[in-house]
Amino acid sequence: MKFRFLLLSSISILAIFAVSVSLVNAQSANDVLVNMAPDNPAPYENTTITLNSFVSDLDSVLISWSVNGKTITSAIGKKSFSTTAPAAGSETIVVATVSLPSGPMNVKITIKPSVMVLLWQAVDSYVPSFYKGKALPTESSKVKVVAMPEVKTSSGIVSPQNMTYAWKKDYTPGVDGSGYGKNFFLYSSDYLEDSNNISVVASTVDQQSSSDASIDIATSEPKILFYKNDTNIGTIWQNSLPDTHKIQGPEVVEAIPYFISPKEIRNPELVWSWFINDDPVYLTTFRQDLMPLSVPQGTHGTSKLRLDISNDNKIFEAASKEINVEF
């Protein structure tokens, strides 16, 4: 037999390595094209350089390869060459000498890896105090990505504030967020996609050194957990309430919406809708996250307790939680 309850009262790391590459051609910049795989090798990563030409037949000419002034290999049609990228902040100079019928051509490639660290934060995603995890972005959340490049030149490490940044969101240039000294990027997550790709190229003012990185930031669904709120000690955080919770007498259930926005959960944008056995319950107190419950003496049974939270300004943001309460 079922009975209704009575109300008692109403803040990635992700580290990515990039490479600064310069190409110097002794004759014509259009004669030989250079491809490097991977495009941005990490320090000590195996790197393959390939030459192509729409003007000359490279398969029939002698091509010599040297690393830091030392000839490594030489052969007819040797269009590809592999080497190991140096340590971060160091550089390796690879020179391909192509013996064309019109004369030798030197192609110079400078491989100079740099370290880039990208950190991100969902700035308006709510998590309770002392939560050990990271606040996750949900649909239409505001996210801040900070670039921390470590680019070394002959003068030392370049300050991140003294570099120029070109940001992209989902491969589209973020013009408003790019520019000199703009080592952070703000964006709103896309409600039509389950993740967003953020990339950046950080360059020195003289354009001689650069570093780039990218990161995929996934969106999550907001969720609600119920906890017991004790009159004397407050929220009991050790364990959330299970799907079936038994009460012995008057009790207060506290709802915690993880990852919902805005970050201030008492913001009037958020609409809290409580239900007992699918019948709406209207709280008259300021604390819409607290549901006080009591049981008429001598009654026993099970009731469903449900909470729906929606955002008036974000139609795609909503969370719901339901448990069975035995008494």
Tokens of 251: 């009790």
Q: What is the mean pLDDT of residues 246-267?
A: 91
Q: What is the pLDDT of residues 116-167, one digit of tens each?
A: 899 999 999 999 988 988 999 998 889 999 999 988 777 788 899 999 999 9
Tokens of 143: 């996210």
pLDDT of residue 6: 32
C-alpha pair distances (Å), 206 with each of 101, 119, 142, 170, 278: 36, 26, 33, 27, 66
Please choose, from the candidates 185, 179, 149, the residue with its C-alpha nearest in 3D space to the C-alpha of residue 166. Answer: 179
Tokens of 156: 């030392």
Strongest mean pLDDT among 67-76, 243-252, 263-272? 67-76
Domains parsed from the chain with CATH numbers: 18-113 (2.60.40.10), 115-218 (2.60.40.10), 223-326 (2.60.40.10)
pTM confidence score: 0.75
Cis omega (within 30 of 0) for bond into 296? no
Which position has the higher pLDDT, 117 or 55?
Answer: 117
pLDDT of residue 193: 83
Q: What is the pLDDT of residues 74-88, one digit of tens each?
A: 999 999 999 999 987
Tokens of 35: 């491809």
pLDDT of residue 22: 38
Measured CA to CA, the distance from residue 202 to residue 181 in angstroms comes to: 9
Q: What is the pLDDT of residues 7-19, one digit of tens each?
A: 333 333 333 333 4
